[in-house]
Amino acid sequence: MKIANKISLSFLLAGIILTTAAASITYIVVRNNLKRSIFAHLRTTAQSRALHIETFLEEHKQAVELLADEIIFRELLSTGKDAPEYNECLERVNSRIKNVVKINIEIFNVELLDKNGIVVASTEEAYVGSDISADEIYLKGKEANYIRDIYISEANRKPVFDMATPVLLNDEFLGVIVIDLNMEMPFKILLDRTGLGETGELYLVNKNYYIISPSRFREDVILNQKVDTINARNSLMFKVKEHVPGEKTVPFQNYRGINVLGTSVYIPQMQWALLAEIDQKEALAPLRKTRVLFIAILIFIPVGAWAAGFFASRIITGPIYKLYKGTEIIGEGNLDYKLNTDSKDEIGQLSKAFDKMTDGLKKTTASIDELNKEIVQRKQAEERQNQLLNELSIVFNSVGDALVVMDNNLIIRTVNPAFLDLTVKKKEEVEGKPCRDVLKCINEKGEDLCATECSSKKTVSKGAKSNARFVIQNSEGERISILSINSPLRDSEGKIIGSVKAMRDISKDVEMDRMKNEFIAKVSHQLGTPLTSIEGYIDLILDGDTGEINELQREFLGVVSQSTERLESLINDLLDVEKIESGKIGMEFEEISLSDLANNAVRTMEQEAKKKGLRLISHIKEGIEIYGDSDRMTQVLTNLISNAIKFTKQGEVTVKLRLINGNSETIVQDTGIGISKSDQKKLFTKFFRADDAYTRFVGGTGFGLSIAQGIVKSHGGEIRVKSKLNKGSEFRVIIPLGKRRKKPKVRKELLS
């Protein structure tokens, strides 16, 4: 028998044996994987829907708790009906609960009960005055947050459930607030049967085994259809988070008597079971197609194996003949001929050996002209490299800033002439010496800073860039203020081999800053004294007999008084900025109640908000203390609230104070004109004001936020801003809680 026929027959027999074994094993694996994937998909779907329902419950639980925490409900419940302000409080409460129902489609009724269980306010006016003191929603709601299970409403014959939570004031029980919710949103979540096929179904069962959600196949099942199946019992009896069926799960009958595959998720908050089920026939339908596919594979693969063997035999014998012909051509002296056989076997290796042999023969016959050409090219490359090095040397020596090149051990390898001029040293006194022996870095008091500026091996090895300001003393004893920038030095492979320190003399800039601050302080003092006198004289004139000046003169004097007050405010802001920049702000740190300061700031700004027709809302947690300056923190809070009112045309301003991650967090939110992204980057810059018509109309000096930022940073805190144009702004002031600690230093960078 020919070699080609033997190869074809071997391929055919191997194809039949391997295909039969592989198809059988694959069918079993596919069947098991299909079951696992069905249960995994059902489990994932059930978990997702259960999470949505739990989120729905938690959101409304938080909503009713937030309602109970609002001060208007406490004011009404703690005010007697005979009090003059009772009706005004009741009107605010009615307006608030109607607004809650209006904006939340899931809530269709809100009720406020007093401590005796009497309905004092409700969006359903017919319920006002009702006594529900014996009702479960009152009895359990006055103890803690309580959710009553689903029931059919007598009003609209739809499934609903209630949430209740107590209203407290200083731990004293005042009453209960109740919200009635419909089940449209949870039902919508369950009715979304994406990925569940034609028979897949999701439904809820309560602790009494009754369906409490719509069925895909039957009408009117809510609280009428009992489900006593394996799936329901596994979930409600064992009360585990999720029921996992296992590898050999047996199908079971559902409430319709149909064999299904299913799983469940237990919702402990309501003692509900969310069941996910699909008909067994539909779930395992893909196996029928798989069996047909495997039969086709058992037929076609052996045939294909025989054909592959036939062509393989031709492929094996072809290169042998080509190799034979190639050796004859090479033997005749044609060294340019290539066998170019792509085979990976011994024939291919032999062909490559022949090709390599011919290449070696060609290289040994290379001409002298080609070698001379290569030598010329190498010399030209060396000349270009030397020219480049010469140009780099010219640039290095011509730079005006002082440059120092150091290795990884901070040994100076070379410096430029500008460095020698700055330090008044000679090159041999610098190169090869440790940086700390050459640079005499000192602070303003003359203390040595070499440990900081010349010993940071860790920073150099990591390739980090850094900058610093310090003072050096040159060889002649002169002190020079320096701005230094350190950068890593890398070789052609990116490996760090040292660092470059660039230094610039900024002595004139430092002196100019000092003179600027002195000038601001002196000018502010000189302007402040006559302004105080002007204000006093204007007040004397305006407070005198009205017959002495007419109304037009009084109006002019009022304008002058306002301008004087604005100029005085600008002077005070300038002085505050100068104090912060020079580190002389002079704050007295002690343990203070941030809660009291926030409440006082809100009360102070209430009148200003009312003038503009705005609502000023506060949610301030009591008992929060920080270690800081009371007057300066009041200045920050008042500035932020005043800005929020100033730049809000209509809507509300909300002030919150809470604890988060061991810090106090004060939040000022508004529904005002907002701040563009570009302006947000410059908010804390001195003199900055947004350039638009409304901002120019309301005025401002452009110092308030920069001063506020300086004060907050001096307390170890920070200010964060989030804003959208025409949507409003949010300022967050985060300060550590009250601990006695070393008074923070205020640096000039605070306002940069």
Query: Is residue 109 within a helix (H) or strand (E), and if so which, with residue range?
Result: strand 107-114
Q: Is residue 302 predicted with pLDDT exceeding 90?
A: no
Higher pLDDT, 88 or 38: 88
Average the pLDDT over 544-570 and give the result: 65
Q: Is residue 278 predicted with pLDDT exceeding 60?
A: yes
**Domain limits, the chain:** 70-183, 186-281, 399-504, 511-582, 590-751
pLDDT tens digit sequence for 328-378: 676 666 667 766 666 666 666 667 776 777 776 666 655 556 767 878 888
Cβ atoms of residues 557 and 698 within 8 Å: no
pLDDT tens digit sequence for 404-416: 898 888 888 899 9
Cα separation, 227 vs 206, whole angstroms: 10
Q: Which of 272-276, 638-642, 690-694 has the lowest mean pLDDT?
A: 690-694
Rg (CA), the chain: 42
Cβ atoms of residues 438 and 419 within 8 Å: no
Higher pLDDT, 73 or 400: 73
pLDDT tens digit sequence for 467-481: 777 888 788 778 888
User: Residue 310: phi, psi to the nearest 5?
Assistant: -60, -50
Cβ atoms of residues 683 and 706 within 8 Å: no
Confidence of residue 178 (pLDDT cuts 50, 70, 90): very high
Provide the pLDDT for residue 458.
56
8, two tokens = 């074809």
Average the pLDDT over 250-270 and give the result: 88
Our measurement of the distance from residue 514's CA atom to the centroid of its chain's CA atoms, rounded to an integer in Å, reads 41
305, two tokens = 């194996």
CATH of 70-183, picked from 3.40.630.30, 3.40.50.1820, 3.30.43.10, 3.30.450.20, is 3.30.450.20
Average the pLDDT over 189-214 and give the result: 88
At a CB cut-off of 8 Å and minimum separation 6, what does 542 contact? Answer: 554, 557, 558, 561
Provide the pLDDT for residue 751.
33
Range among 253-257, 294-298, 450-454, 583-587 with highest mean pLDDT value: 253-257
Cα separation, 209 vs 223, whole angstroms: 9
Query: Residue 435's beta-bridge partner residues?
Result: none
DSSP state of 456: -
Cα separation, 463 vs 484, whole angstroms: 16
Mean pLDDT, all residues of the chain: 80
Cβ atoms of residues 96 and 85 within 8 Å: no
C-alpha distance from residue 618 to each of 62, 159, 658, 668 (Å): 18, 36, 11, 9
* Residue in 592, 594, 596, 599 with CA at minimum distance from that of residue 71: 599
At a CB cut-off of 8 Å and minimum separation 6, what does 567 contact? Answer: 527, 531
Higher pLDDT, 76 or 561: 76
**In CATH, what number does 399-504 get?**
3.30.450.20
Helix axes 551-582, 704-714, angle to 10 degrees: 40
Cα separation, 598 vs 655, whole angstroms: 8
At a CB cut-off of 8 Å and minimum separation 6, what does 338 contact? Answer: 355, 358
Average the pLDDT over 222-249 and give the result: 76
Confidence of residue 559 (pLDDT cuts 50, 70, 90): low
Query: Is residue 184 within a helix (H) or strand (E), and if so which, with residue range?
Result: helix 184-191
Cα separation, 626 vs 300, whole angstroms: 81
Provide the pLDDT for residue 335.
63
Cα separation, 129 vs 300, whole angstroms: 84
* Residue in 216, 177, 220, 172 with CA at minimum distance from that of residue 197: 216
Q: Which of 349-358, 527-536, 591-600, 657-666 has the lowest mean pLDDT?
A: 527-536
480, two tokens = 């020079």
Average the pLDDT over 109-134 and give the result: 92
* Domains 186-281 and 590-751 equal at CATH topology level: no
Q: Is residue 439 predicted with pLDDT exceeding 90?
A: no
User: Residue 666: phi, psi to the nearest 5?
Assistant: -100, 125
Higher pLDDT, 519 or 505: 505
Q: Is residue 324 predicted with pLDDT exceeding 80?
A: no
Q: Does domain 186-281 have CATH number 3.30.450?
A: yes
* Residue in 566, 567, 538, 573 with CA at minimum distance from that of residue 553: 538
DSSP per position, 661-688: TTEEEEEEEE-SS---HHHHTTTTSTT-
Confidence of residue 527 (pLDDT cuts 50, 70, 90): low
Q: Could you tell me the CATH superfamily of domain 590-751?
A: Histidine kinase-like ATPase, C-terminal domain (3.30.565.10)
Strand 728-736 relative to strand 259-267: parallel, antiparallel, unpaired?
unpaired
Q: Is residue 495 predicted with pLDDT exceeding 60?
A: yes
- Side-by-side strand order, sheet with 718-724: 615-620, 652-660, 663-670, 728-736, 718-724
Higher pLDDT, 574 or 310: 310
Cβ atoms of residues 76 and 95 within 8 Å: no
**435: helix, strand or coil:** helix
User: Residue 514: phi, psi to the nearest 5?
Assistant: -65, -45
Provide the pLDDT for residue 184.
84
